[in-house]
């Protein structure tokens, strides 16, 4: 099979990045925007030795789970990959993905993955948007999302998964750019000024923070931007973030305030949180409560336990747990997030939580307090190998692993459970077994899935 060939195939499965998978003459083809059961005529775009990429030329028979995407730019936009699949099917796919990773990467054979806890309504759920800014063919600014696997920007006025209200902010920033002459950033040449618009919304409070990420120290006519944005109900803060690096990382380290407060406040359950632009905060407030309630239930607290919450962000899980624990220690690498965490403990009158700034793998060995429960919630790359060793040495009764990537979750669980390829010497201390695996859907429409896993210490 070669480029531009036409192939008739049935989609049998979906890849981790949301492409349909089918086979023709022993060759695997990945076809974007297809779902299992689709029969399609597809045109080959690119061939490797044993697999290739193709695009749909004709949808001959739709699969049972195929739906009309709710978003008009679902195909070009790289943000959501599963909008062509019915939500119930998306949840089933995510459950299978977690199961497959545990089997394939973790080597676990007999683990039951619970059905994914999904949303009642998989749209309008996001409380945060990061829109890249660039220059269109006509020279005017374009705000939107990156197209899949590229950095070309698909102009966006409304995003189906964002909270309704973000459109007015996007429109106001676009107007500001047109009127002020502030140059959109040009990634290829590292020139221009405005790189991204970051916006955050506190669902429980209605507060909105808008932050322009700039390749410089100031913007022209800042008062014009403030004037346009402050009229929008809910906007309580307008900031600039300085990022002058040639990098894909969106945010730089320095934040200055143009108007109001440089953070928003929000609630999860009864706990109130202050969230700064540089701090991590879960993007789906409704499902965050479901996720944290699951983590709390898995932690099995009675009030007597010492708990470590590693990768704690602004202390969200820590403060949830502190209400039921003797003491909680939180560790997080971003200094602004720890500043928020300390302030959040204080504002909620929580005195049994202590926070440390630093890498979890470095901080934990320096504080060898006995732990009854350790909670980890790492970024996609998972836990540092030395951290897993330290956790095994500390040998808590329970480990609650909150993961946003089932592949690295499976890899780390294999270590914690004494996987076959780990030598005895590299695994000092305890061994664990998997008690429960509960995925939670925080990202309807996309391939991502969050998983909470309870590990218990094995008794020899």
251 binds ligand SAH (CB under 6 A): no
Give the CA count within 13 Å in the CB-facing half-sphere of 112: 4
Comparing every residue's Cβ against ligand SAH, the nearest one is 313
Query: What is the DSSP secondary structure assignment for residue 278, as one 8-state letter?
Result: T
Q: CB under 8 Å to 311, separation ≥6 — which residues?
A: 331, 332, 333, 360, 376, 377, 378, 379
For the bound state, the minimum distance from the C-beta of residue 130 to ligand SAH, rounded and expressed in Å, comes to 15
> Of 291, 252, 245, 293, which Cα lies nearest the Cα of 439?
291
Backbone angles phi, psi at 388, to 5 degrees: -60, -40
For the bound state, the minimum distance from the C-beta of residue 311 to ligand SAH, rounded and expressed in Å, comes to 3
Q: For residue 404, indicate whether it is catalytic.
A: yes
Interface residue with ligand SAH, options 312, 328, 394, 453 (CB under 6 A): 312
For ligand SAH, the binding residues in 340-359 under the rule CB under 6 A are: 359
Closer Cβ to ligand SAH, 83 or 288, answer by number: 288
Q: Which stretch binds ligand SAH (CB under 6 A): 13-21, 71-79, 326-334, 409-417?
A: 326-334
For the bound state, the minimum distance from the C-beta of residue 441 to ligand SAH, rounded and expressed in Å, comes to 15
Closer Cβ to ligand SAH, 238 or 295, answer by number: 295
Interface residue with ligand SAH, options 160, 187, 332, 372 (CB under 6 A): 332
Separation between Cα atoms, residue 375 and residue 364, nearest integer Å: 12
For the bound state, the minimum distance from the C-beta of residue 424 to ligand SAH, rounded and expressed in Å, comes to 27
Interface with ligand SAH (CB under 6 A), residue total 19
Separation between Cα atoms, residue 396 and residue 235, nearest integer Å: 44
Separation between Cα atoms, residue 209 and residue 261, nearest integer Å: 8
Strands 264-268 vs 20-24: parallel, antiparallel or unpaired: unpaired
7 binds ligand SAH (CB under 6 A): no
Catalytic entry in 211, 404, 417, 453: 404
What is the torsional sign of CA 324, 325, 327, 332? Answer: negative
331 binds ligand SAH (CB under 6 A): yes
Q: What is the DSSP string of 327-374?
A: EEEEEES-HHHHHHHHHHHHHTT--SEEEEES-HHHHHHH-----SEE
At 449, list the tokens: 């899935």
Please tell me whether residue 440 adopts helix, strand or coil conformation.
Answer: strand
> Of 334, 327, 282, which Cα lies nearest the Cα of 308?
327
For ligand SAH, the binding residues in 154-183 under the rule CB under 6 A are: none
Closer Cβ to ligand SAH, 278 or 410, answer by number: 278
319 binds ligand SAH (CB under 6 A): no
377 binds ligand SAH (CB under 6 A): yes
For ligand SAH, the binding residues in 268-297 under the rule CB under 6 A are: 280-282
> Of 89, 451, 135, 150, which Cα lies nearest the Cα of 291?
451
313 binds ligand SAH (CB under 6 A): yes
Interface residue with ligand SAH, options 115, 379, 428, 429 (CB under 6 A): 379
Interface residue with ligand SAH, options 54, 111, 325, 337 (CB under 6 A): 337
For the bound state, the minimum distance from the C-beta of residue 360 to ligand SAH, rounded and expressed in Å, comes to 4
Interface residue with ligand SAH, options 176, 308, 311, 401 (CB under 6 A): 311
Contact 243, 214 (CB under 8 A): yes
Closer Cβ to ligand SAH, 19 or 361, answer by number: 361
Going along 175-326, which residue ranges are E strands?
194-201, 208-214, 235-242, 254-260, 264-268, 271-275, 306-310
For the bound state, the minimum distance from the C-beta of residue 200 to ligand SAH, rounded and expressed in Å, comes to 13
For the bound state, the minimum distance from the C-beta of residue 448 to ligand SAH, rounded and expressed in Å, comes to 13
At 89, list the tokens: 């099917």
59 binds ligand SAH (CB under 6 A): no
Question: Which residues are identified as catalytic?
Answer: 404
Residues found near ligand SAH in the complex (CB under 6 A) = 280-282, 311-313, 316-317, 331-334, 337, 359-361, 377-379
């Amino acid at each position: 099979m070669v480029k531009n060939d036409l192939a008739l195939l049935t989609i049998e499965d979906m890849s981790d990045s949301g492409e349909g998978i089918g086979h023709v003459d022993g060759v695997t083809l990945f076809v974007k925007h297809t779902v299992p059961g689709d029969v399609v005529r597809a045109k080959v775009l690119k061939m490797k030795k044993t697999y290739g990429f193709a695009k749909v030329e004709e949808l001959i028979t739709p699969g049972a789970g195929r739906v009309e995407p709710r978003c008009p730019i679902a195909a070009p936009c790289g943000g959501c990959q599963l909008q062509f699949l019915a939500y119930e099917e998306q949840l089933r796919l995510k459950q299978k993905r977690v199961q497959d990773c545990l089997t394939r990467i973790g080597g676990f054979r007999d683990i039951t993955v619970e059905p994914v806890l999904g949303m009642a309504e998989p749209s309008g759920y996001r409380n945060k948007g990061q829109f890249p800014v660039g220059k269109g063919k006509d020279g005017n600014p374009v705000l939107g999302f990156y197209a899949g696997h590229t950095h070309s920007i698909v102009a966006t006025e409304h995003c189906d998964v964002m909270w309704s209200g973000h459109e007015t902010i996007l429109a106001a920033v676009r107007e500001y750019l047109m009127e002020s002459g502030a140059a959109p950033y040009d990634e290829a040449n590292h020139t221009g000024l405005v790189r991204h618009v970051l916006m955050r919304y506190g669902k429980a409070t209605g507060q909105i923070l808008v932050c322009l990420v700039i390749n410089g120290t100031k913007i022209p006519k800042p008062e014009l931007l403030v004037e346009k944005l402050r009229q929008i109900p809910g906007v309580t803060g307008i900031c600039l973030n300085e990022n002058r690096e040639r990098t894909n990382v969106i945010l730089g380290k320095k934040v200055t305030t143009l108007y109001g407060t440089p953070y928003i406040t929000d609630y999860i359950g009864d706990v109130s949180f202050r969230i700064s632009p540089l701090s991590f905060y879960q993007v789906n407030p409704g499902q965050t409560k479901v996720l944290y309630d699951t983590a709390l239930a898995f932690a099995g607290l009675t009030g007597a336990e010492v708990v470590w919450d590693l990768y704690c962000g602004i202390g969200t899980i820590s403060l949830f747990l502190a209400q039921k624990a003797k003491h909680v220690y939180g560790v997080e690498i971003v200094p602004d997030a720890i500043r928020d965490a300390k302030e959040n403990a204080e504002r909620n009158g929580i005195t049994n939580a202590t926070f440390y700034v630093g890498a979890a793998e470095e901080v934990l060995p320096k504080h060898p307090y006995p732990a009854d429960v350790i909670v980890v919630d790492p970024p996609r790359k998972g836990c540092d190998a030395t951290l897993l060793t330290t956790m095994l040495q500390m040998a808590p009764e329970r480990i609650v692993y909150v993961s946003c990537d089932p592949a690295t979750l499976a890899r780390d669980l294999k270590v914690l459970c004494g996987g076959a390829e780990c030598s005895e010497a590299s695994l000092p201390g305890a061994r664990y077994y998997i008690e429960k695996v509960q995925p939670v859907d925080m990202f309807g429409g996309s391939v991502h899935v969050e998983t909470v896993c309870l590990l218990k210490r094995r008794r020899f």
